[in-house]
Chains A and B, each alone.
Chain A
Amino acid sequence: AQTVTQSQPEMSVQEAETVTLSCTYDTSESDYYLFWYKQPPSRQMILVIRQEAYKQQNATENRFSVNFQKAAKSFSLKISDSQLGDAAMYFCACGGSQGNLIFGKGTKLSVKP
């Protein structure tokens, strides 16, 4: 069984500043993947970043990077140089070898101009 916990229901960041969203997970699978998805008001789920658990190197995608701590089962998302368009719900998710995703409850990110 897999569980994903996002302990921050809401976060706020000033435009151009950096913010970190927290996520912890638990899984019994040895081969798994971790994801951050963004859901703006349109409700379209958009992939932000993916981390393969067997890779030690933290994934990065432009202004988005993760801090993957495998032993601690922690997978936080850092957003640098925050932009107004980053405002959305952010969901952390864990997927096993079959691809099924378990999502956290989400963190609502607000970006202040």
Chain B
Amino acid sequence: GAVVSQHPSRVICKSGTSVKIECRSLDFQATTMFWYRQFPKKSLMLMATSNEGSKATYEQGVEKDKFLINHASLTLSTLTVTSAHPEDSSFYICSVISYVGTAKNIQYFGAGTRLSVL
């Protein structure tokens, strides 16, 4: 399967600051990446679909001005949490998807980023 690198693995920031999380596809060109949020002991909730070279598609209830997504290349998507507040503390996970071959429609996940806002 695809190798996905997500950085940083953990970040602690002060309320009001912005945090950038990177998601890199290391071994294939990802036209589409996904960003999820996971609360403790809960399931993954899709936040947005990141498309290379175009605007991200956000799920209902997700503030696009709060969670900025940039997918400027086929190997990198970034999620920036702007003006972070304690309620933004969560586990954020990215994934890449293959649309071809035997791995069609399989999502491969990064290791996640634990964000703590003080």
CB <8 Å contact, A47 and B108: yes
Q: Which stretch in B21-29, B39-47, B61-69 binds the other chain? A: B39-47
Question: Number of B residues whose C-beta is below 8 Å from A?
Answer: 21
CB <8 Å contact, B108 and A100: no
B106 within 8 A of A: yes
A91-B43, A99-B34, A100-B46 are known; give 7 further A-B pairs, CB within 8 A. A33-B105, A44-B111, A45-B95, A45-B109, A100-B49, A101-B107, A103-B43
0/1 string, A34-45, CB within 8 A of B gives 1: 010100001111
Contact for B43 among A35, A43, A97, A105, CB less than 8 A: A105
Q: How far is the CA of A98 from the CA of B50 in the complex (A)?
A: 12
Name the interface residues of A18-33: CB closer than 8 Å to any CB of B.
33
CB <8 Å contact, A47 and B1: yes
Nearest CB of A to B32, in Å: 7
CB <8 Å contact, B97 and A43: no
CB <8 Å contact, A50 and B46: no
Residues of chain A contacted by B58 (CB below 8 angstroms):
none
Contact for A44 among B46, B99, B105, B109, CB less than 8 A: B109
Residues of chain B contacted by A45 (CB below 8 angstroms):
44, 93, 95, 109
Q: How far is the CA of A95 from the CA of B98 in the complex (A)?
A: 13
Q: How far is the CA of A47 from the CA of B42 in the complex (A)?
A: 18
Max chain B Cβ within 10 angstroms of own Cβ: one of A45, A91, A104, A105: A45
Nearest CB of B to A74, in Å: 19
CB <8 Å contact, A99 and B43: no
Residues of chain B contacted by A33 (CB below 8 angstroms):
105
Select from chain B the residue with minimum beta-carbon distance to A50: B106
Contact for A43 among B1, B42, B91, B95, CB less than 8 A: B91
